[in-house]
Amino acid sequence: MKVIAINGSPRKTWNTATLLEHALNGAASAGADTEQVHLYDLDFKGCTSCFACKLKGGKSYGRCSLQDDLTPVLEAIGEADAVILGSPIYFGIVTGEMRSCMERILFPYLTYTRPPQSLFPRKIPTAFFYTMNVAEVSISDIGYDVQFRSNESIMERMFGSCESLFSYETLQFEDYSKMVFSYADPAERVERRKTVFPKDCEAAYNLGKRLVSGN
């Protein structure tokens, strides 16, 4: 069994990547082969609306025809048994790289039919990890929940299921004294990193294990 995690953060060792690593460790503990892909290492673009993936009888029907660094990642996802996407939230949505990646992953599988269908050949479990600066109590007020539900819905439609994991009020800087920052108490963020983030990591580990074992 193969589990792939896609890191949509520019950081390779910070909040999002760390949660994904724990999830993959959980999957590995259940016997899976795992891989984490760092999008910011790749040279790629989002969907170009060429519609080759929708062309009747076309050689790229149901798959993205663009050839770049994301191509082998898309091929690996097509053969994966579980997929985890992870991204920090920038201005209320996932990073630009993650959004471009999502376009390339999801659009080729979506059919322009009524009702819309998925061309992905089987059902696999998926998950979406989010890290963010805001507090959990603010999510509905600022509309983040709408974005999260939308992503979960399209992942479910294309792949069969999707589970979301949220890490709130994450530590952004190693040294807050060097930054202009009065949004929250830096000491509280440091404390959350010590006391709350490990629980998020544990939840990620358990989720990764669950994707493989089913329980």
Whichever domain contains 70, its CATH number is: 3.40.50.360
Q: Is 49 left (phi over 0), alpha (psi -120 to 50) or beta?
A: left
Q: What percent of the chain has pLDDT over 90?
A: 86
> Does the pLDDT value for residue 119 go beyond 80?
yes
The angle subtended at Cα 144 by Cα 138 and Cα 149, nearest 5°, is 130
Is pTM, for the whole model, over 0.85? yes
Confidence at 181, pLDDT banded by 50, 70, 90? confident
pLDDT number for residue 201: 98
Distance separating alpha carbons of residues 67 and 1, to the nearest angstrom: 26
pLDDT in tens, 185-200: 889 989 999 999 999 9
pLDDT number for residue 174: 86
Confidence at 103, pLDDT banded by 50, 70, 90? very high
Q: Are 4 and 77 in contact (CB under 8 A)?
A: yes
Our count of domains for the chain comes to 1
Distance linking the first and last C-alpha atoms of the chain: 16
pLDDT number for residue 177: 86
Mean pLDDT across the stretch 170-177?
88
Domain that holds residue 197: 2-213
Contacts of 192 (CB under 8 A, 6+ apart): 169, 170, 171
**Number of Cβ atoms within 10 Å of the Cβ of 145:** 12
- Closest alpha carbon to 24 in 88, 101, 86: 86
pLDDT in tens, 59-68: 999 999 999 9
> Does the pLDDT value for residue 69 go beyond 90?
yes
> Does the pLDDT value for residue 215 go beyond 80?
no
Mean pLDDT across the stretch 97-124?
95
> Does the pLDDT value for residue 129 go beyond 80?
yes
